Amino acid sequence: MIALILGRVSDIYAAAFLTLAIGIGIGIGIGIGLSITAVALEEMGFRRYPKRKDLYRLIGLAVIENFGYRQLTTYWRLRGMVNLLQKKHSWGTMERRGFGPPQPPP
């Protein structure tokens, strides 16, 4: 803001940055709102959490999940879509591991 007042940043750059920041803030706010609404609806419908401490913990997790985890799942989804478009439909080779040595058939 100070750089904009001093004329060190162009008006177009500042407007683009402000628009992006507001958009990201609105997106995170909507995500938090949806998560908290889901917790509230579940509690009103099923009454699964007898302690208020559990509800507060869920609301805290609803806020935290929007910083990091949601972006990570978006990255995984995007990578999956790219693999789909590139027609990479394999999971790779899977090594089978057991708990002990293989037993001979009876």
Interval 51-92: pLDDT, tens: 999 999 999 999 999 998 988 999 999 999 999 999 988 887
Is 36 part of a structural domain of the chain?
A: yes
| DSSP annotation string for 69-84 | HHHHHHHHHHHHHHHH
Q: Is the pTM of this model over 0.85?
A: no
What range defines the domain where residue 52 resides? 2-85
In a domain, 101, yes or no: no
In a domain, 61, yes or no: yes
Token duo for residue 7: 């004329």
Q: Is residue 104 part of a domain?
A: no
Q: How many domains does the chain have?
A: 1
Helix axes 52-64, 11-46, angle to 10 degrees: 150
Task: Establish if 14 belongs to a structural domain.
Answer: yes
